Each structure stands twice: as structure tokens, then as C-alpha cells.
Structure 1
Amino acid sequence: MFVSKLIGEKRRWRQYKARTQQLPANYRAAIDAIERYLMYFGRADGAGWASMFEDLAEIFEQSAANGTLIRKIVGEDPVAFIEAFLDNYPEGGWIIRERERLVGALDRAESEAPRP
């Protein structure tokens, strides 16, 4: 099950990359920059990543087909665009687990602290 899931996500990634390679050079440069940012600051994981990147490719494919300028897609604040885009996708399980781990560790530390 795990292997087939991993292979499926890898296949979707390759399809996404093939789609982005078909974009005009300026759109491809823009989506590459967004992709790089999402790799560092994205919140999804697994299938969430695949869906997010597929949707991103669709936005840029449609925009390129319509001749929409890149700044019309992302606006004056590209970070705000990406953050709004990310709001459409659930956070990855690893982030949720790490937040729970942080809260639990702080709760334990608080309960073990000597009382004045």
C-alpha cells in the first residue's frame, strides 16, 4: 500500500513537471519560483502536495492560454498570493503532529516545574 501510494505521488509529480515545462519561459520561471517557495514554506504533504502543484499548474496554464500577465495572477504581493493559495489546502500531518508534540512538551514542562 505504502509503495503504491509513493509511486502514485511520484507519477503525479512527474506529470506536473511535464506540464510546467510546456509553459512559455516567463510563466515557467514564475512557477519555478513559486514552487521553490512552496517547498520551503508549504504546509501540505503527500497527496496534498500533488493536488496543490497540479492546481498551480492549471492556474498558470489557463493564464498563459489567456495571455494573462504574471502580475495579474499573483498581484503586487506574491507572498500574499501564495499564502492565500495555501489556505485552500489542509496542513500536512507532520505539521499537526509537531504542533501537538510542542504543546505536549510545554504542558509536561509546566507540570514538572517546581512551585514557588
Structure 2
Amino acid sequence: MDISDLTAKVIGDIGDKRRWRQYKSRARQLPPSHRTAVDAFERYLMYAGAGSGVSMFEDLAVLFEQSAADGTPIRAVVGEDPVRFIETFARNYNEDSWLNRERARLTSAIERAAGEGK
């Protein structure tokens, strides 16, 4: 690894940390109900291993900032099934995640086992 690679890694890591702190600051400024929802979604994504980058959390903050500004109720944003909402939301960011690769690998293995695959 040369110095430019090392520098890019360090600067990239610092940039992500800065973006994360900005996201957390924005989330804290939401009205209590929206902040509670964002905190709950953040916790779920972290524990589910679906947190694939700061951009997903930033977009989640934007969604809830806009809904708060428009006076949109939480249920109008997430629907009746918050798990389905956040998993669908996260799926847009996890195309290359380890979980999606494992899902594809599992599906392929079952197809082969059942004589359906290649």
C-alpha cells in the first residue's frame, strides 16, 4: 500500500465519520415522534446488519425531515408494517451487501439441490 492509498483510506474514513455525526445531529433535531422512529429504524438496521453506509441513514433523515416539515404522520410514511418498510428501504442500498450475496448463494444452492439450477 503506497502513501496515496493510505491517505485516501484515512481521509475517506474521516469523511464518513463526519457525515455520520452530521446525520446524528440532524436526527436529534427532528420532532420527538419522528426522532423516535428514526432511532428505532437505525437500531434495527444496525442489529440486522443492514447498515451499508452513511448515505442510507442520511436519506432516512431526509425522508423524516420532509415528513415532519409537511406534517405527515409516521404511519403515513411507514405504513402498518414498519419492518417491511425499513427492509424495503434498506434493500435499495444493499445490492452488494454480504447479506444479499448470501441470499443469492442460498437460493442458488437450493435450486441446484432441487435439480432446478445449473
TM-score, structure 1 normalization: 0.74
Q: Is the 8 A contact 1:44 1:92 kept in 2?
A: no
Letter in 1 for 2:23: Y
Counterpart for residue 4 of structure 1: 11
Counterpart for residue 110 of structure 1: none
Larger RCO (CA within 8 A; separation ≥ 6): 1
Taking only aligned residues, the RMSD between alpha carbons, in angstroms, comes to 2.1
Check 1:5–1:94 CA distance in 2 against 1; reply closer, same or farther (3 A cut): farther
Q: What is the deviation of 1:74?
A: 0.6
Q: What is the deviation of 1:90?
A: 2.8
Q: Is the 8 A contact 2:31 2:68 kept in 1?
A: yes
Counterpart for residue 69 of structure 2: 65
Does residue 81 (structure 1) correspond to residue 85 (structure 2)? The answer is yes
Give 2:34's match in structure 1, choosing from 27, 33, 36: 27
Counterpart for residue 113 of structure 1: none
Check 1:57–1:91 CA distance in 2 against 1; reply closer, same or farther (3 A cut): same
Q: Is the 8 A contact 1:16 1:57 kept in 2?
A: yes
Query: Structure 2: which 5+ residue stretches go unaligned?
Result: 1-7, 110-118
State the number of aligned residues: 98
Check 1:92–1:10 CA distance in 2 against 1; reply closer, same or farther (3 A cut): farther
TM-score, structure 2 normalization: 0.73
Give 2:46's match in structure 1, choosing from 35, 39, 44: 39
1:54-74 CA deviation, whole Å, 9 max, x = no partner? 000000000000000001111
Q: What is the deviation of 1:78?
A: 0.2
- The runs of at least 4 aligned residues of structure 1 exceeding 2 Å deviation read 42-45, 90-97
Query: Structure 1: which 5+ residue stretches go unaligned?
Result: 107-116
1:3-38 CA deviation, whole Å, 9 max, x = no partner? 111101000000001111110111111110010001
Q: What is the deviation of 1:92?
A: 5.1
Check 1:56–1:79 CA distance in 2 against 1; reply closer, same or farther (3 A cut): same
